[in-house]
A = this chain, B = another copy of it.
Amino acid sequence: MVSKLIEKIQKTKAPICVGLDPMLGYIPEHVKEKAFAEFGETLEGAAEAIWQFNCAIVDATADLIPAVKPQIAMYEQFGIEGLKAYDRTVKYCQQKGLIVIGDIKRGDIGSTSAAYATGHLGSVKVGNTTCSAFNTEYVTVNPYLGTDGVKPFVDECNASDRGIFVLVKTSNPSSGEFQDRLVDGRPLYELVAEKVVEWGEASMDGDYSNVGAVVGATYPEMSKILRKLMPKTYFLVPGYGAQGGTAEDLKYCFNEDGLGAIVNSSRGIIAAYKKDAYAKFGPEHFADASRQAVIDMIADIGRVL
């Protein structure tokens, strides 16, 4: 799978993904009003608003980007109806030729992780019939339970040509609370990184592994070290833009081949119309604002590569 991701990144010259994290507060009033008029102020109404919002953004940006990263929590908060919007969004993006990184951060004991892996990356057997459920190209995985919580995802990467990004160093303010604690003089996230390398060796696809790592843009000094520790690991880099990470902060996430990382922006793209820089588009043309924000982000990152 990572070779497909790289191919798309090279074709678009855009090592970025758009985070489809549609909080209701980001969605323009006219989109919500239309959805609520049809389905009421209900979970179904919220899901419809999300779906319409996503469609417009995907239509306006799909030719510029290799991938999207829907954050499943933003759908799951609206229950079954929200998850239907997630499922529709995934399939719509795939029809548009985009790679979908399901930001699900799952991880459990072995048999349970196997269920998540089949449901999100692979297929599941019902009687004698093979069915697939969410079927995204990539998912994110939480490593706190160790190898037997991650291995079922790696197995699915191999069985179904899929990929994962394992949380190594997250972008949030308190990520250091446990991740930075020193074990034998080295931060925990480095130990996790070494395990990611080990897991990744079992799923190589060209020069890189299908087992990637989440490395936050907000901690550039750490990404420099992590880049060296994990030379064949693709990084999914959250934290650019709204969370405070700059293009300058990102450069250490890339290898000398200009590859090795895909940078996510969510709010900065999907809610661009709310920022002063894109206010001229207005809420009516929110998707055009998102397109311009994507073009600007690609240029911004291009400067440091």
Query: Roughly how many angstroms separate A132 CA and B46 CA in the complex, as a whole number?
Result: 12
Q: Does the CB pair B119–A79 fall under 8 Å?
A: yes
Q: Which listed residue (B42, B82, B106, B192) contacts A105, Cβ 8 A? A: B106
Closest-CB distance, A185 to chain B (whole angstroms): 11
Which of B32, B73, B146 contacts A179 (CB under 8 A)?
B146
Decide: A45 near B126, CB < 8 A? Known: A148-B172, A174-B147.
yes
Check if A78 sits within 8 Å of B183, measured CB to CB: no
User: Do the beta carbons of A80 and B83 come within 8 Å of each other?
Assistant: yes
A74's partner among B115, B171, B182 (CB-CB below 8 A) is B115
Chain A 115-136 interface 0/1 with B at a Cβ cutoff of 8 Å (1 = within): 1101110001111110111100
Residues of B contacting A128 in the complex (Cβ-Cβ under 8 angstroms): 41
Contact of A24 with B by CB under 8 A: yes
* Cα–Cα, bound, A177→B198 (Å): 13
This protein's copies in its complex: 2
Residue in B77, B107, B112, B195 whose CB lies within 8 Å of A124:
B77
Partner of A172, one of B124, B133, B149, B182: B149
B79 touches A133 (CB 8 A): yes
Q: Contact between B42 and A73 (Cβ–Cβ < 8 Å)?
A: no
Nearest to A40 among chain B residues (CB) is B129
Complex CA distance for A170 and B147, rounded to whole angstroms: 13
> CA of A24 to CA of B107 in the docked complex: distance in angstroms?
20
CB proximity to B under 8 Å, residues A159-204: 167, 170-179, 181-184, 188, 191-192, 195
Smallest CB–CB gap between A20 and chain B, Å?
13
Q: Check A28 for interface membership: any CB of B closer than 8 A.
A: no
Say yes or no: A133 contacts B87, CB within 8 Å: no
Judge whether A8 is part of the interface by a CB distance below 8 angstroms. no
Give chain A's interface residues, CB within 8 Å of chain B: 21, 23-24, 32, 36, 40-43, 45-46, 71, 73-74, 76-80, 82-84, 87, 105-113, 115-116, 118-120, 124-129, 131-134, 142-149, 167, 170-179, 181-184, 188, 191-192, 195, 238
11 A-B Cβ contacts within 8 A?
A41-B128, A43-B131, A43-B133, A74-B115, A78-B126, A80-B83, A82-B133, A109-B171, A142-B142, A144-B144, A178-B188
